[in-house]
Amino acid sequence: MNDPRTADPTDRREVKRLLERTGIRPSKRLGQNFLVDRGAIETIAKLVEGSDPETIVEIGAGLGVLTRLLAGSAKRVIAIEIDGRLVEELRRRLADLDTVEIRHQDFLKFDFSPIGAGGRTLVVGSIPYRITAPIIRHLVRNRDFIERAILITQREVAEKILRSPGPGGTSLGVLVQAYAEPTFVTNLKPASFFPPPQVDSTVWTVSFTDRPRFTADPDSFFTLVKTIYGKRRKMLRSALRSLLPPEGVDLLLKEADIDGNLRGEGLDLPSLDRLASAFAAVRRRGSSGEAGSSLDRDPDRG
């Protein structure tokens, strides 16, 4: 292990020795579980090659095991690492790679705009479980700059996103489905990481679509989705009363042609879109003083 570039970071014993030598103790706060599953790494490498990216942004470069592979698949790799201790080790391990730029930065503060919109930019990363939702939202917000993402997340989170919208889905899942095509790749056991987490993980991809998969006003659409999934066990008619008074809810359901006795989580994307468009129309009429002006009332007192 005299040459840090030749150490095998997929060998658990070598990873442990490397961390001990550099005085790095994996941080639970930062969600540091290093991928040491060679099969999983090769699977990700094949996915990257199939994407043919120009630029790759890596979330949490860690010990650089993926970074080195990514360097051969794109003209530019931006490896982001928040832990300064690992940044120093990465710079030693990857000193021979001219195409890799290592940034000591929080990914949630990474600015995609200098990369430019419309290019073949790929994001790759094993996401710390405690900040999965903020990272996914950051990716969605920057979808104009990203063609595809290859992610490793907690299995439960991936499953909920993949089955959204629908029973067992989440508002985060609907957000992803509204702008992208998520695809399952494979599941990983805790032993695929060092130290092993207490949960299974999933490799999955997110391919952003050219346009949203809904036509309603985004504010109306996501206000509705958040309300529905926040009251998932209630019938739709009851859940919507936090947004509109009873007569407004009846009007909304009638215009959208949706049964108010259904649970909102049972609606598919086209139905959510139709309901959101009707919701926006009902709110406009209510605020303009036309028929249905009673919608101006505080819905909590409706």
The pLDDT of residue 65 is 87
- pLDDT at site 296: 32
DSSP per-residue string spanning the chain? --STTTS-TTSHHHHHHHHHHHT----TTTT--EE--HHHHHHHHHHHHHH--SEEEEE--TTSHHHHHHTTTSSEEEEEES-HHHHHHHHHHTTT-TTEEEEES-GGG---GGG-TTS-EEEEEE--GGGHHHHHHHHHHTGGG-SEEEEEEEHHHHHHHHT-SSTT--HHHHHHHHHEEEEEEEEE-GGGEES--SS-EEEEEEEE-SS-S--S-HHHHHHHHHHHHHTTTSBHHHHGGGTS-HHHHHHHHHHHT--TTSBGGG--HHHHHHHHHHHHHHHHHHHTTSTTGGGGS-GGG-
Please tell me the distance from the alpha carbon of residue 269 to that of residue 12, in angstroms, as a whole number.
44
Whether the pTM exceeds 0.95: the reply is no
Arithmetic mean of pLDDT, 121-131: 93
Summarised one tens digit per residue, pLDDT across range 227-240 is: 999 998 899 999 99
Give me the pLDDT at residue 12, please.
78
The mean of the pLDDT values for the chain is: 89
CATH 3.40.50.150 in the chain: give the residue spans: 12-208
Question: Which tens digits make up the pLDDT trace of 32-89?
Answer: 889 999 999 999 999 999 999 999 999 999 989 899 999 999 999 999 999 998 999 8
pLDDT above 60 for 288: no
193 pLDDT more than 50: yes
CATH topology for the 218-301 domain: Helicase, Ruva Protein; domain 3 (1.10.8)
- Looking at the chain, the domain(s) classified CATH 1.10.8.100 span 218-301
pLDDT bin (cut points 50, 70, 90) of residue 175 is very high
Separation between Cα atoms, residue 294 and residue 229, nearest integer Å: 26
pLDDT > 70? residue 7: no
**Residues in a beta bridge with 78:** 57, 101
What pLDDT shows up at residue 126? 94
CATH architecture of the domain 12-208 equals 3-Layer(aba) Sandwich (3.40)
Considering only 91-100, 246-255, 279-288, which range has the smallest mean pLDDT?
279-288
Confidence of residue 18 (pLDDT cuts 50, 70, 90): confident
